[in-house]
């Protein structure tokens, strides 16, 4: 998909982001091979992971194994690297297992490019967190401010697991936010109506797709896996967005 941003710096015209969310790995499955093939063959500048690589305790070895394979498949094709944030299903044990894997985890921190006008921020999502915002967006913004090398206008990309950060992201001047968590309902009615999105106080009608809050655009992925019952998706296909950034013409 193409996303048109009104303040996209010219140097980032055509930048491509491959967005993976909610893998919910329990054991190897054919879908994982399809994901690895896409990661190894598509052209992109950033591989962005927005949490929930596993389902429950005991799934850490399988989830870590797939993420290692994803990094290998990405190779050096992602100029900005592989970056991610944790989800509410990602245990401390999974974090430990992936500590040495070359994924830049944004835990209430920011990554600032020295060559391009680009900042990527991320907030942490506590294990088993469902109802609040335990992350620290202010901390990520302060971390960004300490790294910015010049006064050029920059694209501010925000990675988070849960969509409920959108109002705060808009107030902070974020240009684009990528997230998941909702699974777009996972099981929908044939009409497409969503019955549940696992996000208290978040409107069902805002469970997936491209949203806008103020000047901030937000893409909520349908995700790539399922919770508890593997393969249980009804009228809601899995999704791995490949995003091309374009400057919106005045």
The predicted structure's pLDDT at residue 132:
67
The CATH number covering residue 111 comes to: 3.60.21.10
Average pLDDT of each block of 10 consecutive residues along the chain (250 residues)?
95 97 96 96 96 97 98 88 96 97 97 95 90 88 94 95 96 98 96 93 95 97 94 95 92
The predicted structure's pLDDT at residue 40:
95
- By residue range, what is the domain housing residue 149? 2-247
Q: From the CB of residue 166, how many other CB atoms can be counted at a distance below 10 Å?
A: 24
The predicted structure's pLDDT at residue 131:
66
- Helices (H), strands (E): how many in the chain? 5, 12
Into how many domains does the chain fold? 1
- For 8-126, strand residue ranges (E) read 16-20, 46-50, 82-85, 104-105, 109-112, 118-122
Taking a C-beta distance cutoff of 8 angstroms, is the pair 68, 105 a contact?
Answer: no
Q: What pTM does this model have? A: 0.96
Q: Which residue matches tokens 């992350």?
A: 135
Which residues, other chains included, contact 122 with Cβ-Cβ below 8 Å and sequence gap of 6+? 83, 84, 85, 105, 106, 107, 108, 109, 110, 140, 158, 159, 160
176 φ, ψ (degrees, to nearest 5): -140, 130
């Amino acid at each position: 998909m193409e996303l048109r941003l009104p303040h996209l710096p010219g140097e980032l015209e055509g930048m491509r982001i491959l967005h993976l969310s909610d893998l919910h790995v329990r054991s190897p499955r054919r879908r994982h091979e399809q994901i690895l093939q896409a990661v190894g063959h598509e052209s992109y500048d950033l591989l962005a992971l927005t949490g929930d690589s596993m389902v429950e305790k005991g799934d850490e070895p399988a989830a870590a194994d797939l993420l290692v394979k994803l990094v290998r498949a990405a190779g050096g094709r992602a100029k900005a690297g592989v970056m991610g944030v944790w989800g509410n299903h990602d245990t401390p044990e999974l974090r430990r297992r992936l500590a040495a894997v070359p994924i830049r985890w944004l835990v209430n921190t920011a990554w600032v490019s020295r060559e391009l006008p680009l900042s990527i921020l991320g907030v942490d999502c506590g294990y088993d967190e469902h109802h609040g915002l335990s992350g620290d967006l202010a901390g990520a913004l302060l971390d960004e401010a300490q790294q910015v090398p010049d006064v050029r206008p920059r694209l501010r990309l925000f990675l988070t697991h849960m969509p409920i950060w959108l109002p705060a992201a808009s107030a902070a001047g974020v240009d684009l936010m990528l997230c998941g968590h909702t699974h777009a309902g996972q099981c929908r009615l044939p009409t497409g109506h969503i019955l549940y999105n696992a996000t208290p106080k978040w409107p069902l009608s805002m469970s997936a797709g491209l949203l806008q809050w103020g000047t901030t655009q937000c893409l909520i992925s349908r995700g790539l896996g399922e919770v508890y019952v593997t393969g249980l998706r009804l009228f809601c296909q899995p999704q791995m967005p490949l995003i091309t950034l374009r400057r919106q013409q005045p």
